[in-house]
Amino acid sequence: MTDDPRPPYPEQQQAMPGKTEAMNPRPDHGEKSYVGSGRLAGKRAIITGGDSGIGRAIAIAYAREGADILISYLEEDEDARETQKWVEEAGRKAVLMPGDISSAAHCRAIIDRAIKEFGGLDILINNAAHQASFEDIGSISDEEWKLTFDVNIHAMFYLSKAAAAHLEGGGVIINTTSINADQPNAHLLAYATTKGAIQNFTMGLAQMLADKNIRVNCVAPGPVWTPLIPSTMPPEAVKSFGENTPIGRAAQPRELAPPYVMLATDEASYITGATVPVTGGRPFI
């Protein structure tokens, strides 16, 4: 067991999509704890949603393992620059690319920018997501439903399709699904539905790209203490967030980084089409 914060957390609310600095307690992305060992030396990675939360933790870990990183994010410049600082302090190149991944054109531009900046691409992390809480299906607008699919699943298709030609011969795609793929939260209906689609997309794409030597896997987090939580959930849910796990707390983002590292290394050369649950003990079938 660790000394990480446990519920009840202070009640707090933010405007979407939330900022790291305003969170109490502040999330731990591994800034002081993650120690690399060259497992991704010379690799070139794209991380969507790399400005904060799980994405920042992955970026810090990947940089300390030796990878250069393009950080894709919507518009949270302050958070993105903080992630960039940690990547560069590890001695690696960090490219910031703001923009809306619900646009197919922007997704293609992300891949093109990575190829231009790095001379190639080895790893695509489809991590960015949109979520919002609703008590009743009648409260979910058509626009909200479409936005959730555009960001969470359509963008994953656009990015993977554009990246595939550059990943042949040993590339890796890692998608972020969720415990909601297996245990959907009724108040997160649109989000949970896309997370189930992501798991199915991962397994199908893994089979489609296997003959190109491209591995495709996904990580299924349980509750993780990120800016999405105080910016998309009611105060009472924030206060008790993560207490429904056997471990009894939400994960810190740094606790999600190791499986993303492992799946990107040659150590995982026979793992494709898999889902790695990181759920604090909640069952995932």
Sheet with 44-48, strands from edge to edge, namely 94-98, 68-73, 44-48, 123-126, 172-176, 215-221, 275-278
Cα distance between residue 136 and residue 153, in whole Å: 23
Express each pLDDT in 174-214 by its tens digit.
999 999 999 999 999 999 999 999 999 999 999 999 999 99
Residue 86, pLDDT > 80, answer: yes
Confidence of residue 11 (pLDDT cuts 50, 70, 90): confident
- Told to judge if 191 belongs to the known catalytic residues of this protein, a careful annotator would answer yes
pLDDT at residue 16, as a whole number: 87
pLDDT at residue 17, as a whole number: 83
Class for domain 37-278, per CATH? alpha beta
Q: What is the pTM assigned to this prediction?
A: 0.96
CA distances for 122 relative to 153, 166, 224, angstroms: 21, 8, 27
**Which residue is catalytic, options 34, 73, 158, 191?**
191
Give the residue carrying structure tokens 């250069």: 68
